[in-house]
Structures are given as structure tokens and as C-alpha cells.
């Protein structure tokens, strides 16, 4: 059954497969592995045997064929698809950060952003250009190294009206390479929404207008822009950067007690 036509999807790569096993084992349909990772994936195979989930050991060519990729790392699964959730009127609260993607089309960039989001603890990612119930691209799941299973992936098409709803309670911060306001100088505090744009065109006009602030990442080199996934990672590090602890006051000075001078005893003459 093909990934495009059926209700199944291939997930490949060790971390991506382990994340599926940890988060939604009920969605696993079949397991394929190389002999070289048999011991490492032993817990998965033991579970599969108990759950009567079929698994099979394959050579390199077999794994490449079933996964459709060369970077399978010796482990692949057929699973029920990971799908985008529908947008519901809500937003980040407390110290949460959400990320919104405006036209990010490259699945490897999407996967790298999801990996950074999972690393920093982002709650949800709003994705434009997709529909609720649409499956997440398999290459993006692989590039996310398990991160796709850790965040809520929400379809937000069109994105600008969703951001207009969110900007009332929380700041919506857009990233642009030529923005005059540096991200490091902007009042950025959680909860908030970070918006990154298309790899070449950046933020669309409607999305830019929906942001409460548009910031740039200052650089010192001759190249004027960053890869979108790198920019998102740097911005998240800034948003999640813990404030420096207040310096402790020095301990109060106390007068040292005077040393007692002990005179040596004189020996008695015999």
C-alpha cells in the first residue's frame, strides 16, 4: 500500500521510529530492521511479538526499498499517518511559545524546525499551506529526529487570520532578515508566537501585517541571510534564554576576633 494512496505511512530512522514507539505504539502496523540493529531494537521487537505486530529483518536493499530512502539507519516502520490537527481558537498561555510557519515548503527545513521546537519545548506549530487531516511529510518526520511526535502540528490555512486572533492576548513576533529591530533588542517574553517565513520570499504581506513586531537576527558577516531552520533555532534559543540570576550581595563583613598570642613556656632549670 503506497504512502500516497492508503491510510499507512512509512517512518524511518532510529530516533523517528523510537519516538513513534514511545508516543503512539498503537499506530504501528509493521516493523523492518537490519541485522546490525537487532540488539538495539530488541525492546521494540519484544513488544511487537507480544502485540502480534509483524516484523521482518531485511538487508540494505530491502530496507531501502520499503522505506523509500537511503538514510533509514537500519530501522523502518509502516504506521498510521501522523496528521495535522484542525485549528481551534486557543493560544499559548503561561510561559509557552508557539511557532508559525508561513509557506515553509522544504520538508527538510520543516523537519529541522520541528527538531528545534521539540528541543526547546515548543507546545504547538502552526503550518500554512496544509489542511487538517493531511499527513505530515515522511521526509520531515525523518529530519525531525523524533521531534514531530513531541509537538502539536496544527493546520492554519490561511495563516494571517489565525495570527490576528492570537495577537490580542499574546505578542506575535515575525522574523525577517532585513527588519530594523533586532530580536535581541525586542521585548520578547513568553507566552508568544514566533513566525518564520518562506525560504526565499520571507513573510507574506498579510502575515507581516498580522505580527505585532518584526525582528531580525543581527549578524556580522558578509552573507545577509540564514537558512530558515537555522534562524528559527537561533530565535527560539533567544526566546527561551533564562534571565541571568540577580547577583547575590556580598556577605556582611565581620570583625575577625583577635588572635590569642601564646607565649612559649620557660623551662625550669634543674
Q: Are strands 75-79 and 9-12 parallel, antiparallel or unpaired?
A: antiparallel
Q: Output Rg (C-alpha) for the chain, integer angstroms.
A: 27
pLDDT tens column, 200-249: 899 999 999 999 999 999 887 777 689 999 999 999 999 887 554 444 55
Treating both helix axes as pointing N-terminal to C-terminal, what angle do 14-23 and 42-51 enclose, rounded to 10 degrees?
40
* Fold match flag (9-79 vs 97-239): no
pLDDT tens column, 68-116: 999 999 999 999 999 999 998 788 888 899 999 999 989 999 999 999 9
Q: What is the pLDDT of residue 153?
A: 97
Domain range list for the chain: 9-79, 97-239
Q: Partners of 192 in the beta sheet?
A: 97
Q: Which CATH number fits domain 97-239: 3.40.50.800, 2.60.260.20, 3.40.1280.10, 3.90.550.10?
A: 3.40.1280.10
The CA dihedral of 68, 69, 74, 77, to the nearest 10 degrees, is -40
pLDDT tens column, 24-67: 999 999 999 999 999 999 999 999 999 999 999 999 999 999 99
Class of domain 9-79: alpha beta
Q: What is the pTM of this model?
A: 0.85
Amino acid at each position: 500500500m503506497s504512502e500516497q494512496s492508503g491510510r499507512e505511512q512509512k517512518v524511518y530512522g532510529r530516533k523517528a521510529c523510537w519516538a513513534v514507539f514511545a508516543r503512539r505504539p498503537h499506530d504501528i502496523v509493521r516493523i523492518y530492521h537490519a541485522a546490525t540493529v537487532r540488539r538495539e531494537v530488541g525492546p521494540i521487537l519484544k513488544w511487537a511479538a507480544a502485540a502480534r505486530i509483524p516484523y521482518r529483518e531485511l538487508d540494505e536493499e530491502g530496507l531501502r526499498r520499503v522505506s523509500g530512502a537511503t538514510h533509514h539507519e537500519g530501522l523502518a516502520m509502516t504506521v498510521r499517518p501522523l496528521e495535522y490537527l484542525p485549528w481551534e481558537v486557543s493560544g499559548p498561555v503561561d510561559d509557552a511559545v508557539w511557532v508559525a510557519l508561513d509557506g515553509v515548503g522544504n520538508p527538510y527545513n520543516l523537519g529541522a524546525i520541528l527538531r528545534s521546537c521539540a528541543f526547546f519545548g515548543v507546545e504547538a506549530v502552526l503550518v500554512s499551506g496544509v489542511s487538517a487531516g493531511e499527513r505530515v511529510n515522511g521526509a520531515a518526520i525523518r529530519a525531525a529526529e523524533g521531534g514531530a511526535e513531541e509537538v502539536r502540528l496544527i493546520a492554519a490555512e490561511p495563516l494571517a487570520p489565525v495570527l490576528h486572533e492570537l495577537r490580542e492576548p499574546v505578542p506575535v513576533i515575525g522574523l525577517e532578515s532585513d527588519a530594523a529591530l533586532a530580536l535581541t533588542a525586542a521585548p520578547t517574553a513568553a507566552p508568544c508566537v514566533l513566525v518564520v517565513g518562506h525560504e526565499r520570499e520571507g513573510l507574506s504581506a498579510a502575515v507581516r501585517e498580522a505580527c505585532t513586531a518584526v525582528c531580525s537576527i543581527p549578524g556580522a558577516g558578509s552573507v545577509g541571510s540564514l537558512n530558515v531552520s537555522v534562524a528559527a533555532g537561533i530565535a527560539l534559543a533567544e526566546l527561551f534564554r533564562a534571565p541571568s540570576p540577580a547577583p547575590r550581595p556580598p556577605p556582611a563583613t565581620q570583625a575577625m576576633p583577635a588572635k590569642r598570642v601564646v607565649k612559649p613556656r620557660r623551662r625550669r632549670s634543674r
